[in-house]
């Protein structure tokens, strides 16, 4: 069945210049350096809210993510090729992560109820399994998260998720299609996913 065109005339890709790809990486590096120089001891690098979106022909980075969920089950993005995968890096100790949790859950629930081919997966950072599970239960998070394993799972994101939180959208080929460095709002995430879905082959 042919997928309908995005509801917005230009879509998020039209609203965001594709030249942000390089600028976003450079800007985030400066932000990280600034934060490290500040020495405020918050214990993590906060994102600056940069939104990065790539048209299909611009997508070159392939991400393969795998690990063990908080429920002790194996999970791999390779099992979800052909679907859009949303990866969210978070920690229960991270204020911006708490701030965005309801937005992530709102979009995940909407898409699941609509039967869209979209999978959400969290990547936990610096929590014990009991602490991370308690966070999931407290905020009614319906999608799974991968356990923290000393940063090895996060490293599979190829340095593109330095900030906490970071949300990445992978297309059906496992390629990076969009990224938000910092907390994401439901409207932004919904728009990014819709644009990626619109470019996927009809199912």
Q: What pTM was computed for the model? A: 0.80
Instruction: Count CB neighbours of 130 within 10 A.
Output: 9
Give tens-digit pLDDT for 11-38.
444 434 333 333 333 333 333 334 333 3
Question: What distance in Å separates the CA atoms of residue 77 and residue 137, rounded to the nearest whole number?
Answer: 24
| Long-range own/partner contacts, residues 26-29 (CB < 8 A, 24 or more apart) | 28/162, 28/163, 28/181
- For residues 75 and 146, the answer to whether their CB atoms sit within 8 Å is yes
Rounded CA gap, 64 and 135, in Å? 26
- The C-alpha atoms of residue 164 and residue 90 are separated, in whole angstroms, by 6
Q: What are the pLDDT digits (tens) for 95-136?
A: 999 999 999 999 999 999 999 999 999 999 999 999 999 999
Q: Which residue has the tokens 């999931």?
A: 136
pLDDT at 48: 78
Scanning the structure block, which residue is given the tokens 């593109």?
A: 160
- Across 11-15, 42-46, 63-67, the highest mean pLDDT is recorded for 63-67
Query: H-helix or E-strand containing 186?
Result: helix 186-198
Q: Residue 170 in contact with residue 83, Cβ under 8 Å?
A: no
Counted residue by residue, the chain has a size of: 203
Distance CA 177, CA 168 (A): 8
pLDDT digits (tens, 9 = 90+) for 154-188: 999 999 999 999 999 999 999 999 999 999 999 99
Residue 6 has pLDDT above 80, yes or no: no
CB 123 within 8 A of CB 89: yes
Q: In the beta sheet, which residues pair with residue 89?
A: 123, 166
Q: What is the mean pLDDT of residues 68-95?
A: 98
- The neighbouring-strand residues paired with 175 are 62
What is the reported pLDDT for 99? 95
SS3 120: strand
Residue 1: predicted pLDDT: 43
């Amino acid at each position: 069945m042919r997928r309908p065109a995005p509801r917005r005339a230009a879509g998020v890709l039209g609203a965001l210049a594709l030249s942000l790809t390089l600028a976003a990486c450079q800007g985030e590096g400066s932000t990280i350096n600034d934060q490290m120089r500040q020495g405020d001891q918050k214990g993590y690098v906060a994102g600056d809210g940069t939104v990065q979106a790539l048209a299909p022909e611009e997508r070159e980075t392939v991400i393969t993510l795998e690990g063990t969920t908080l429920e002790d089950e194996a999970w791999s993005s390779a099992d979800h090729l052909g679907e859009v995968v949303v990866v969210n890096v978070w920690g229960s100790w991270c204020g911006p992560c708490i701030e965005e949790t309801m937005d992530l859950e709102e979009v995940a629930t909407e898409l699941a109820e609509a039967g869209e081919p979209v999978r959400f997966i969290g990547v936990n950072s610096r929590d014990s399994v009991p602490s991370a599970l308690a966070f999931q239960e407290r905020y009614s998070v319906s999608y799974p998260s991968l356990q923290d394993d000393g940063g090895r799972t996060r490293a599979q994101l190829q340095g593109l998720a330095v900030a906490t939180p970071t949300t990445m959208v992978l297309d059906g080929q496992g390629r990076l299609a969009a990224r938000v460095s910092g907390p994401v709002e439901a409207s932004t995430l919904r728009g990014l996913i819709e644009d990626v879905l619109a470019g996927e082959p009809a199912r």
